[in-house]
Amino acid sequence: MLIMLGGIQIGVLAACVVLFVPMGMAGYHLSRNRMLFFSGALFITLAVGVHLTPYFPSVSDFVSSVKSVVVYDNREDSCINLVNEVVWDVKPRLISSSGDGTVDYDKVWDWSKNGKVKGCDFEKLGRGDVKDLLNGSWVVVAGDSQARLTVQSLLSLILDEKRMGMIKGDLHKKHSDYEIVVDEIGMKLDFVWAPYVVNLTSLMMGFKQNRTYPDVLVMGAGLWHMLHVNNASDYDVALENLRSSVVSLLPFSPELDTDGPVTGSVSVRSPHLFWLGMPILINGMLNTEEKREKMNDEMCHAYDSALHNSRLLRRYGGPLLLLDIQSLSWNCGPQCTIDGMHYDGTVYEAAVHILLNALLIESHQKLGSS
């Protein structure tokens, strides 16, 4: 490259010496006659153009060369950013059989049909499509009870009702890990009980030490930290340490900006990384006084700011795509929770479908394709 540039510079210098020195002298004499002066100027311009053309590529070649170096998939980038745009229709349903006037709710969700979201063609996947998408995959979900509920929703899309009934006891053992292999599609799923961010960091370092990485990694933590540590600054530091561990061990493209927002598509990202956000906490419904005191609105906002400041999420220049449980739970509303913290399965079902659609986009797959 440097040799090529040196050749161009020498050629330009030689052309200038050959052309401009004698023609400048001639121009001095021609300047006494305007007509001859402008004719001479035109001649000089044309001569310069002819002599310098070989040293420069054509405009079309230049544009083509730029396109060959940097190509962004704008549609992919746009749709990934819109994958959490979900709307809810929550309607009361009177249960008359009990005779006590108890009200239940029908909770229906779908992606918004407005504007750019409609053009992304997001859709709820059936069991066959989910199996095809996750065929041969190793999926790891790590976190607290929110992550465990997400695992339940994912497995409900893969396993039949009978098998789900058989595994629920083991899946919901308190404060424990869980693993399952779905033999018919060669998929392994691990749930790792990791209620603190430091647990997630340790998990990342374990992957690095063992040199084995899942195909899909979903993680999230914060509720336990808010309750038992109750310090947003400490949470921020823990998240930044987690981000560093993730970036250090995975084969990211150089396009991943470590100092600011991502400016283009990241071409290399394996495994597929997701952050499971915290839900909206409805303070008046929390089931202990300690929770109501410590997990108040002010503290929730402080923890949200810590997540933003950590630049862990892709929207802020980080490696993880958000599964926005906060937005999903907010829009589903208080009708979707009985304790102000854990929400109906419909909320986590929506999160799983968001994850699956993001996987379709990132892996460039289409439903029904091999």
For the chain, the average pLDDT equals 81
- Residues 109-143: tens digit of each pLDDT: 999 998 899 999 999 999 999 999 999 999 999 99
Quote the pLDDT of residue 284. Answer: 96
CA angle, 247 then 250 then 253, to 5°: 80
Q: What is the rounded average pLDDT of the residues 186-204?
A: 98
Q: What pLDDT was estimated at residue 5? A: 42
Per-residue pLDDT at 101: 64
Residue 33's Cβ-count burial label (10 Å; 0-12, 13-18, 19+) is exposed
Task: Note the pLDDT of residue 11.
Answer: 52
Stated pTM of the model: 0.75
Asked whether residue 73 carries a pLDDT value surpassing 60, the answer given is no
Rounded to an integer, what distance in angstroms lies between the CA atom of residue 130 and that of residue 116?
25
Nearest to 274 by CA among 148, 359, 178, 177: 359
> pLDDT by residue (tens digit) across 228-261?
999 999 999 999 999 999 998 776 444 444 444 4
Instruction: Give strand pairing partners of 86.
Output: 111
Count the Cβ atoms, other than its own, within 10 Å of residue 305: 13
pLDDT of residue 343: 97
Q: Is the pLDDT of residue 285 over 80?
A: yes
* Both structure tokens of 328: 């999903």
Q: For the residues 75-86, what does the mean pLDDT come to?
A: 85
Three-class secondary structure assignment of the chain:
CHHHHHHHHHHHHHHHHHHHHHHHHHHHHHCCCHHHHHHHHHHHHHHHHHHHHHHCCCHHHHHHHHHHHCCCCHHHHHHHHHCCCEEEEEEEEECCCCCCCCEEEEEEEEECCCHHHHHCCCCCCCHHHHHHHHCCCEEEEEECHHHHHHHHHHHHHHCCHHHHHHHHHHHCCCCCCEEEEEHHHCEEEEEEECCCHHHHHHHHHHHHHHCCCCCEEEEECCHHHHHHCCCHHHHHHHHHHHHHHHHHHCCCCCCCCCCCCCCCCCCCCCCEEEEECCCCCCHHHCCCHHHHHHCCHHHHHHHHHHHHHCCCEHHHCCCEEEECHHHHHHHHCHHHECCCCCECHHHHHHHHHHHHHHHHHHCCCCCCCC
- Give the Cα separation of 253 and 264 in Å (integer): 11
Q: pLDDT band at 100, cuts 50/70/90? A: low
Per-residue pLDDT reduced to its tens digit, 5-61: 445 454 545 555 444 544 555 444 444 444 444 445 444 554 545 444 444 444 333
Distances (CA, A) of 70 to 34, 63, 264: 49, 11, 9
Side chain identity at residue 32, one-letter code: R
Is 295 within 8 Å of 287 (Cβ atoms)? no
Q: Which residue has the higher pLDDT, 175 or 268?
A: 175
76: pLDDT confidence band, cut at 50, 70 and 90? low
pLDDT for 99 beyond 50: yes
Pairing of strands 272-276, 321-323: parallel
Q: What is the mean pLDDT of residues 205-219?
A: 93
Instruction: Answer whether 186's CB lies under 8 Å from 135's CB.
Output: yes
Between the alpha carbon of residue 366 and those of residues 97, 109, 125, 133, the distances in Å are 45, 22, 11, 9
Task: List 219's β-bridge partners, or say none.
Answer: 142, 275
| Non-local CB neighbours of 102 within 8 Å, separated by 6+ positions | 95
Percent of the chain at pLDDT exceeding 70: 69
